[in-house]
């Protein structure tokens, strides 16, 4: 019982994705107590340490940690080499806020870009950042528009009002995001520790399976398409169909052949949905990889991802059926 509570606590901490905003919050507050360039350097170092730990230890790429590293790093480099030329006095906070809002908007409108980057790093996406990015987009947009209007009208405001509008509000937005994320996770935990759906799509053709080597630093082969989605099984089926069309350009319907649970390296229990994508010709799909015979994979000639090893028998049976169907 005690162990289950500890595991639950670990899962909750891991799902607080807004923890990636901490280096930004610390840096923006520290700018008012320490020299700007030095504080940006400390913030960048903290971001890099947390990002490295997140990738190596938790096998995850926290979206907000990545954005914070890029935003703080950009300001640090500009201040270090060009002084106040590109980042004038008292503009660091709005600059970081705008960059974070812009990247959040890109993620929210085109999440596939982030997923493709993470996939190429050989990292499994365990979390969705859509709700948190929506908070940042809405609140930061309103704040920056108000700042622009005030500047355009040449409003004469007090030093206290200026400090509050430029420096306090952005930090408050990120703190609000962190609090809402934390409270939301604990609320969900009281109802049910919701599982993250991992959609895996296996393209098969003529009794062979398409695999790709996602991580350039290793020779481990895995399915070329893996995406995460929060929702029902029906939502996953619709998303799998949409994703398949993106890579084939055709209305080929993926078939759900297996569903099982698997604990991720970061402690989250994932609901794995395995789809098979039957192709008439290998050229029907636009993906890097290689088609393998199941005999070669079973003989251990290639190093396979642990998930593939669990799924191999199911994939082999399904691929054989579709081979006979097309013949």
HEC per residue, 235-246:
HHHHHHHHHHHH
Residues 70-97 have a mean pLDDT of 86
pLDDT value, residue 323:
79
Written as one string, the DSSP assignment of 219-284 is --BB-SEEEEE-S-HHHHHHHHHHHHHHHHSS-PPPEEEEEEEEE-TTSPEEEEEEEEEEESSGGG
Q: Does 256 have pLDDT greater than 90?
A: yes
Average pLDDT over residues 6-17: 47
Closest CA relative to residue 273, chosen from 228, 211, 309:
228
Cα R_g (the chain), whole angstroms: 23
Q: CA dist 260 to 35, 198, 311, Å?
A: 53, 10, 10
* Residue 163 CB contacts under 8 Å (≥ 6 apart), including other chains: none
**Alpha-carbon span 115 to 124, nearest angstrom:** 9
Res 81 pLDDT > 70: yes
Does position 7 have pLDDT exceeding 50, yes or no? no
Per-residue pLDDT tens digits for 163-221 = 888 889 999 999 988 888 777 665 554 444 445 788 999 999 998 999 988 665 567 88
Q: Kindly tell me if the per-residue pLDDT of 9 is higher than 60.
A: no
Domains present along the chain, CATH in parentheses:
2-191 (no CATH), 196-326 (3.90.79.10)
For 18-53, the pLDDT digits (tens) are 778 889 999 999 988 888 889 999 999 999 998 888
Tokens 């400090």 identify what position?
Answer: 163
């Amino acid at each position: 019982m005690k162990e289950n509570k500890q595991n639950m606590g670990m899962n909750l901490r891991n799902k607080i994705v807004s923890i990636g905003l901490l280096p930004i919050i610390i840096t923006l507050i520290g700018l008012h107590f320490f020299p700007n360039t030095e504080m940006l350097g400390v913030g960048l170092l903290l971001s890099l340490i947390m990002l490295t730990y997140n990738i190596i230890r938790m096998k995850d790429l926290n979206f907000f940690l990545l954005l914070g590293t890029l935003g703080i790093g950009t300001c640090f480099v500009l201040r270090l080499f060009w002084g106040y030329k590109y980042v004038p006095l008292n503009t660091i906070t709005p600059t970081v806020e705008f960059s974070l809002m812009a990247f959040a908007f890109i993620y929210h409108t085109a999440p596939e870009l982030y997923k493709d980057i993470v996939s190429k790093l050989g990292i499994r996406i365990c979390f969705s950042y859509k709700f948190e990015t929506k908070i940042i987009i809405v609140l930061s947009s309103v704040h920056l528009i108000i700042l622009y209007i005030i500047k355009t009208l040449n409003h004469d405001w007090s030093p206290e009002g200026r400090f509050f509008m430029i420096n306090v509000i952005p930090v408050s937005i990120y703190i609000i995001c962190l609090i809402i994320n934390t409270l939301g996770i604990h609320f969900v935990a009281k109802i049910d520790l919701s599982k993250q759906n991992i959609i895996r799509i296996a393209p098969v053709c003529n009794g062979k399976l398409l695999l790709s080597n996602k991580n350039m630093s290793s020779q481990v082969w895995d399915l070329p398409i893996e995406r995460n989605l929060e929702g029902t099984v029906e939502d996953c089926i619709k998303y799998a169909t949409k994703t398949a069309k993106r890579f084939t350009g055709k209305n080929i319907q993926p078939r759900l052949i297996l569903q099982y649970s698997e604990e991720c390296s970061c402690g989250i229990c994932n609901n794995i949905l395995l789809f098979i994508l039957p192709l008439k010709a290998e050229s029907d799909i636009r993906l890097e990889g290689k088609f393998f015979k199941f005999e070669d994979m079973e003989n251990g000639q290639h190093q396979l991802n642990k998930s593939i090893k669990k799924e191999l028998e199911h994939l082999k049976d399904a691929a054989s059926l579709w081979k006979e169907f097309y013949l």
